Structure 1
């Protein structure tokens, strides 16, 4: 399994993957808008030994109470159905955590499955004073500090870029 940054040749396979994994085309459209508007901080793909794209994740900037702290939102993340439950997503998150920390992006937020993301170190955001902009169960909005101390003294409402408004 190879995990690497997205390349231009990956655009159509990513689009196909997102459309096959999610119930609607909203996530595929979101990624296209983020890409077109230069809002992707990091996009990773996972390829099998034959070079087929089987996983994707995208990170884009988020704000905390309107202030930019270089925090990132993970959305969307997708693994081709026949490759799920093999640790690919967790391996991609580990790669992303290291890369984001090296690039000076200290915190990741995610809206996702509460039984999955804690395996990668995410914890519910609300007990840490970080609120989700949407009305969702508290346990599904999570945060991960990839640079120790980056969240110290920081609380408030997360806001995503306007590309997310269409979801």
Structure 2
């Protein structure tokens, strides 16, 4: 399927939020508020416009979206910058066609090009490892809430970037409002 992936434009925010809302409508482990989260992240200092990407079909309609936002990994001595991958959304009619994978690959490449060295995701244990994600516990990185080990994952965008990093992920306030 021919898909164009590019940075989201400000005037597309409402359309994107509708796509996000529809994408999670029938997801079992969703609170159905992912579109609200996207809106809140955009208004926070965690937002990085260059890491908010959309997927367009051949008619140039938005059919998918991904967002990476700033987080920190904090222990008693250090705070290390990282990114949260949340959420990745594909319109229901376009799911299971590889668009989510294309968005993830593009976002990770973009993040690395912008100087970021790691990404954290809370997601499907059988999906994200194919992009290189491993349980965050491998680096002694923990979630700030109770979650099964296998669904809280991290990825080094640059080799050994998490080697001397440990601690608890600190999400922006957007995630808890």
TM-score with structure 2 length normalisation?
0.88
- The residue number in structure 2 matching 1:59 is 68
CA distance in 2 between counterparts of 1:85 and 1:63 reads 32
Number of residue equivalences: 166
Q: 1:69 offset after TM fit, Å? A: 2.7
Q: Does 1:3 align with 2:5?
A: yes
Q: Aligned to 1:69, what secondary structure does the other structure show?
A: strand
Deviation at 1:68, TM superposition (A): 4.4
Partner of 2:55: 46
Which has the higher mean CA deviation after the structures are superposed, 111-120 or 63-72? 63-72
- 1:32 aligns with 39
Secondary structure of residue in 2 paired with 1:104: coil
Are the equivalent residues in 1 in contact too, given 2:119–2:156 (CA < 8 A)?
yes
Moved over 6 A (4+): none
Please, which runs of 5 or more residues in structure 2 have no aligned partner?
26-30
Relative to the length of structure 1, the TM-score reads 0.93
Kindly provide the CA deviation profile for residues 111-136 of structure 1, in whole angstroms up to 9, marking residues without a partner as x: 01111111111111112211111211
Residues 46 and 70, structure 2, Cα contact 8 Å, conserved in 1: yes
Structure 2: distance between partners of 1:69 and 1:105: 11
- Structure 1 unaligned spans of 5+: none
Deviation at 1:9, TM superposition (A): 2.3
Aligned residue for 1:126? 137
Deviations 1:8-57 (A, max 9, x none): 12111111111112244421111111112242221011011111111111
Note if contact 1:18-1:27 (Cα within 8 Å) is conserved in structure 2.
Answer: yes
Matched with 1:85 is 96
